Structure 1
Amino acid sequence: MNLMNVDGYHAKIEYDEETDQFRGKILGLSGGADFYGSNPDELRRQFRKSLHVFLEVCKEQGIDPRKHFSGKFNLRIPPELHEKLAMTAEAQGKSLNTLAQEALQRSVTT
């Protein structure tokens, strides 16, 4: 995955064939903000500019710029996998929740 980081914010970068430029989408915001550039330096400059505009609008409107997460989500998996995970957790002396957190933490890219 192509990610760019600026001031603690992350953006996913993809090539936009239609515009023949790279498009960045800032992740984890309470609204949408994107930017375009032809090279890494331009992308970074436009990222900062787009983020600044977004943060200013949020400030003016009294909106928190970042999404909030509860720390809870439902995950649907096949019963067979659930059984294997539960047995693995028990064999390792861990809760299923701890086993899942560890596995998820290893897959995080940001």
Structure 2
Amino acid sequence: MSQTFQAILRLIERGEVRVSAHGYDELAEDGLFVRDVLANIVDAVIVEDYPDYPKGPCVLVLQSDLEGKPVHVVWGIPKNASSPAVLITAYRPDPRQWSNGFTRRKQ
């Protein structure tokens, strides 16, 4: 498991979470709720890890909504900070752009 995701899980467990404005917009656009994303974080699968991202380490994970439908969520931690975990964006992955399991981008 990535160190970034481990840190994010610890922050979420402690309630140190923020949702970006973009994250709220994307959640609403796809009919998703923050509480549902948080409830299913323990079952998330890492899709892509960006430990050296310029704005701070972040990770793209595959989660499920309460109906079991796939959701991609990008979680991050601000650069030069240790808190909070930030939900940067969340969306329903497009099957035309992702593999059947939504864990690999199509070429």
- Normalising to structure 2: TM-score of the pair? 0.29
Give the structure with higher Rg (CA).
1
Structure with higher RCO (Cα < 8 A, 6+ apart)? 2
- Which one has the bigger strand percentage? 2
Of Structure 1 and Structure 2, which has the larger fraction of its residues in helix? 1
